[in-house]
Amino acid sequence: MKLNLDIIADHLPAGYRVHRYGPEDQTLRYTRPALYESGSPWTQECLYLASTHALPPSPPPQAAVICYGGRMPKQWTSSGAQVLHVENDLDLFQVMQDVFAVFDRFDAWDIRLRDALEDYEKVDLEQFLCMGASELRIDLLLNDYTLRPLFRTHTEGGRTVTLDSASSSLYISQAWMDGIKQVCRTELKIRTPYLTSMPGLSYEIYCKNFYFSDRFLGCVSTCGGNFFRKSDLALLDYFYYYLEKVFVRYLFTLKVDPKPEIALLLDVLNHRPITARRVQNQEARQYWAAFQLTGGQSSQFLPQRYMCQFLCSAMPETAYAASFNDEIYGFLRLRAEGKADDTFKILDDILTRMGYSGGVSAPFSNLAEASPYLQQAAYALTHAGPAEKYSSIHFFGNCTLQYLLDMCTTDMAWSALCPRGLLLLMEHDRSKGSEYIKTLRTYFDLECNMSRTAEALYIHRNSLIKRLKNIGKILRMNLDDPDDRLLLRICLRLTKE
């Protein structure tokens, strides 16, 4: 694991007297130091261990060195070079042994972190949090996306233990939690670790917000009044990077109590009967929408087994999703009267970023009657028209007419459903070059308004009246009859499709 001179200086044995020259360095950049002998070439970005007597008169560019013995040359102390001077009267081997011991310590820590991260079969978030807190000797607090505490580390007698949120009240006051929430809400959009403070506190805390595909998942922060050294920030950054990966995996593998809505959804999909008692506790005036998802159209595509869990976590008490026959189905809880602009906006954002698209049914109020609405969602997904307000959501309401027309021709061809007169009218256009079908479409599209129809066809109103009489004779239908007009409009739409 790479370190910097500030970390090495802070973790040398307690008896060391050291002095740092050069600017503070928050980058983990150096591996174990190489021995420097007088007159040897100097390699940039390499850390050296050298006697002060072996140093060249002036430091090379980007020089970094741990020195021992004697006074530092003045040019080295004022040039901005990265220098850690051990002022104790120690020999080379003692300094090397103690410096290497610091690297050994953090190498072992790094191996433990990586091994835990690579254990895909078991995600032990508490243990991982402990590994960071015990090594850094800093208590850490982990919160979920609602800013509710999940775990907090607490040191007792030099031993670090973790506490779940149920027992954390012994150590986390309500005022502290309120302050954490206030800070996180204010600084929620910050993507990198940051120092912050809360009203009434005389010290700062170091935080990191966790995101997955631009969705806020939770955050971690130092807590309990720990005062950390500036060199700890680089180590916290390193640990936070791995903790975020473990936290995301923990959420995806988290086993939650099955929701009654998901159990009912699976029963509907399996065609099991739903009794009225199953939904008798449903809120009054509660509306729902069914949805079906399909994915795989983006490099951001999230595997299906994670997508259900992520959707439920990202939209708590709003989205209920389950996998069935290699498809994702679910319910959305809507506001009164089926209005859910915010809900659909959040869903659209998630689907777009995850590489999914979805079909959404019309609103309904009784989960026991969900089966046809799941069919609506499936139809909307497979007959999606051009995107309008949302890029990844397609609503059944926008293709209801198309569904009705499709159902008209499920068992019979459209030509078998058309009145004989309409077929004769089409034949008349083909043989005579007339525009009777176009005239009839325009007349119906303009709600049988004579003046507007004549204007749209660029003919005189009297000519239109005469043409409609000829059309009526061929059709042998009454264009003033509402039922005849409805049948003709449906058949014209079928021929257009």
Nearest to 359 by CA among 325, 400, 326, 318: 400
> Could you read off the pLDDT of 130-148 as tens digits, one per residue?
899 888 888 898 888 777 7
Q: Say if residues 480 and 450 touch (Cβ distance below 8 Å).
A: no
Q: Is 260-408 the same fold as 119-253?
A: no
Q: Say if residues 23 and 83 touch (Cβ distance below 8 Å).
A: no
Q: Does domain 260-408 have CATH number 1.20.120?
A: no
Nearest to 330 by CA among 340, 320, 316, 338: 320
- Average the pLDDT over 179-197 and give the result: 77
Average pLDDT score, the chain? 83
> Could you read off the pLDDT of 213-271 as tens digits, one per residue?
667 788 898 886 667 788 899 999 999 999 998 888 787 776 555 678 888 888 888 88
pLDDT for 168 equals: 44
pLDDT for 170 equals: 41
Supply the DSSP string of 25-60, one letter for each residue.
--S--B-SPEE--TT----TT-EEEEEGGGS-SSPP
- For the domain 414-496, what is the CATH code? 1.10.10.2840
- Count of residues making up the chain: 497
Better-scored residue on pLDDT, 292 or 228? 292
Most confident region among 164-178, 192-206, 405-419, 481-495 by mean pLDDT: 481-495
pLDDT for 169 equals: 44
> Could you read off the pLDDT of 413-464 as tens digits, one per residue?
777 878 888 889 999 999 988 999 999 999 999 989 999 999 999 999 999 9
> Could you read off the pLDDT of 461-494 as tens digits, one per residue?
999 999 999 998 999 888 888 888 888 888 888 8
What is the model's pTM?
Answer: 0.59
Q: Where are the beta strands (DSSP E) in 69-168?
A: 82-86, 140-144, 149-156, 159-164
Query: CA–CA separation, 354 vs 351, rounded Å?
Result: 5
Query: CA–CA separation, 497 vs 491, rounded Å?
Result: 10
Q: Where are the beta strands (DSSP E) in 63-204?
A: 64-68, 82-86, 140-144, 149-156, 159-164, 194-196
Confidence of residue 84 (pLDDT cuts 50, 70, 90): very high
Nearest to 354 by CA among 404, 298, 315: 298
**pLDDT over 50 (residue 181):** yes
**pLDDT over 50 (residue 167):** no
**pLDDT over 60 (residue 497):** no
* Overall CATH class of domain 5-103: alpha beta
For the chain, domain boundaries: 5-103, 119-253, 260-408, 414-496
Q: Which fold has domain 119-253?
A: Beta-Lactamase (3.30.450)
**pLDDT over 70 (residue 282):** no
